[in-house]
């Protein structure tokens, strides 16, 4: 009878209830199951990039789509940089004797071989950091990757390999940053260089931090430049990179690091907003540019969980259930991957018309940055506590204890 009701509902609505969460509103997967699915999904996305680079087949194998235009010249570098920044927290857990630990060991090996080939002058897959402005963006994501995995990625490169990386990153110092979130790209690059060498262009960092303090519009949200834009760039770039930069400033005991506490408070608020945007069905509003970055729309929520700064009203296991539900909706959709396993553009499946002019196939791998919570070990309460309903699911189920969204205190 229960299955008949579900079939009738599907026929009446024209909507296929594909995930366990959609089909049974009072059932939640265990943390073990959620983690297994999340690990498998991240590997499904990231492995083709890292394995192809590791085998020096990337330029030969990576697809070129008819909608990319001249963005294909940046596609390979985008895929590498954005994949690496997303998988880094999970890889930083290191290998162990569990099945997942052995998988991680394999992925660490691929990531290191990929990185060596990207920066090796003799490699057929060496990537350039000089044409146009885009390498500035990817230098920032590479910097973030090494900040997120200092032991397993940066620490396992030889001194020669590290010098090659730093040389490439410094080449992007010639590229100007516009009056937008782009100010954070050279700033996070300099923060990384500062961390590993002790020197940096400190003015670049100060300028980016001051600009964003000036561009703050309230309620945990920054303008993307002087104007506010209704999109997910506060989650794609602004909060995540501000947190990374300010963390280094605090470590260096620089006065600008005093801004960290205020920024963290704002980031926590924005994470609450992101969680409240996840619908009972595990969807979120697709609005603004860069919609094809998929799971990266929720990067900050994942990051706040990772760094242990989720506010009390974000219940850990419920947030896990919400993030897993979104991942099911995004990556179980037919057409998300092509027959060779590469990502196709879209939000749900393959949706060519959803691309922006600056998208390439490589830029789609930014979605890996929505999986930062995998950097929490499997023994963490985020993964061990029973799953449960997230905020919108509680509200729309008529839960009398559903929480209000209180006033944000700066």
**Is a pLDDT exceeding 50 seen at residue 137?**
yes
Q: How confident is the model at residue 7 (pLDDT cuts 50, 70, 90)?
A: very low
- DSSP symbol at 359: -
Q: How confident is the model at residue 24 (pLDDT cuts 50, 70, 90)?
A: very low
CA gap 59, 303 in Å, rounded: 31
96 backbone φψ class: left, alpha, beta (φ>0; ψ -120 to 50): beta
Q: Map tokens 């018309």 to a residue.
A: 353
- Which candidate, 105, 337, 197, places its Cα nearest to that of 113? 105
pLDDT in tens, 207-245: 999 999 999 999 999 999 999 999 999 999 999 999 999
| List of domains in the chain | 28-396 (1.50.10)
**In this prediction, what percent of the chain has a pLDDT beyond 70?**
94
Average pLDDT in the 398-408 region?
A: 93
CA gap 372, 92 in Å, rounded: 11
Average pLDDT in the 35-53 region?
A: 98
Q: Which residues pair with 222 in a beta bridge?
A: 216
pLDDT value of residue 26:
55
CA gap 62, 361 in Å, rounded: 9
Average pLDDT in the 190-205 region?
A: 98
Could you tell me the maximum CA-CA distance found in the chain, to the nearest angstrom? Answer: 68
CA gap 79, 222 in Å, rounded: 27
pLDDT value of residue 409:
87
- Which two tokens mark 352? 């060519």
Average pLDDT in the 384-406 region?
A: 96
Q: How confident is the model at residue 19 (pLDDT cuts 50, 70, 90)?
A: very low
pLDDT value of residue 25:
47
Average pLDDT in the 97-121 region?
A: 98
In degrees, to the nearest 5, what angle opens at C-alpha 356 toward C-alphas 354 and 358? 150
pLDDT in tens, 306-343: 999 999 989 999 999 999 999 999 999 999 999 999 99
CA gap 305, 379 in Å, rounded: 14
Distance in Å from the first CA to the final CA of the chain? 52
Per the prediction, the chain carries an average pLDDT of 93
pLDDT in tens, 267-314: 999 999 999 999 999 999 999 999 999 999 999 999 999 999 999 989
pLDDT value of residue 131:
73
**In this prediction, what percent of the chain has a pLDDT beyond 90?**
91
pLDDT value of residue 203:
97
**Is a pLDDT exceeding 60 seen at residue 13?**
no
pLDDT in tens, 67-92: 999 999 999 999 999 999 999 999 99
**Is a pLDDT exceeding 80 seen at residue 377?**
yes
pLDDT in tens, 153-173: 999 999 999 999 999 999 999
């Amino acid at each position: 009878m229960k299955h008949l009701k579900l079939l009738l509902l599907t026929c009446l609505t024209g909507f296929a209830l594909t995930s366990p969460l959609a089909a049974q509103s009072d059932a939640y997967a265990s943390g073990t199951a959620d983690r297994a699915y999340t690990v498998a999904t991240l590997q499904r996305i990231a492995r083709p990039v890292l394995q192809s680079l590791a085998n020096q087949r990337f330029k030969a194998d990576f697809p070129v789509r008819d909608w990319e235009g001249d963005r294909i010249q940046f596609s390979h570098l985008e895929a590498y940089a954005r994949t690496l920044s997303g998988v880094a927290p999970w890889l930083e857990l290191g290998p162990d004797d569990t099945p997942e630990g052995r998988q991680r060991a394999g992925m660490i090996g691929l990531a290191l071989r990929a990185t060596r080939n990207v920066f090796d002058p003799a490699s057929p897959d060496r990537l350039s950091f000089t044409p146009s402005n885009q390498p500035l963006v990817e230098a920032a994501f590479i910097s973030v990757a090494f900040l997120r995995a200092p032991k397993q990625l940066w620490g396992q490169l030889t001194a020669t390999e590290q010098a090659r990386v730093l040389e490439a990153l410094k080449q992007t110092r010639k590229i100007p940053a516009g009056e937008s979130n782009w100010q954070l790209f050279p700033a996070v690059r300099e923060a990384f260089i500062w961390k590993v060498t002790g020197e940096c262009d400190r003015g670049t960092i100060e300028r980016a931090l001051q600009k964003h303090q000036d561009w703050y519009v309230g309620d945990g949200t920054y303008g993307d430049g002087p104007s506010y834009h209704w999109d997910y760039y506060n989650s794609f770039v602004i909060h995540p990179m501000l947190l990374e930069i300010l963390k280094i400033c605090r470590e260096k005991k620089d006065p600008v690091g005093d801004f960290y506490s205020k920024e963290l408070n704002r980031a926590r608020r924005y994470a609450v907003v992101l969680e409240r945007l996840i619908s009972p069905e595990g969807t979120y509003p697709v609005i603004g540019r860069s919609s094809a970055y998929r799971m990266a729309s929720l990067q900050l929520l994942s990051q706040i969980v990772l760094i242990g700064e989720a506010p009390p009203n974000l219940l850990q296991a419920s947030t896990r259930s919400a993030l897993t539900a979104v991942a099911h909706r995004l990556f179980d959709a037919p057409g998300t991957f092509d027959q060779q396993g590469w990502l196709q553009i879209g939000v749900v499946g393959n949706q060519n018309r959803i691309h922006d002019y600056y998208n390439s196939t490589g830029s789609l791998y930014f979605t890996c940055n929505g999986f930062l919570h995998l950097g929490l070990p499997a023994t963490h309460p985020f993964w061990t506590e029973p799953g449960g309903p997230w905020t919108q699911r509680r509200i729309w189920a008529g839960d009398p204890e559903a929480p209000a969204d209180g006033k944000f205190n700066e």
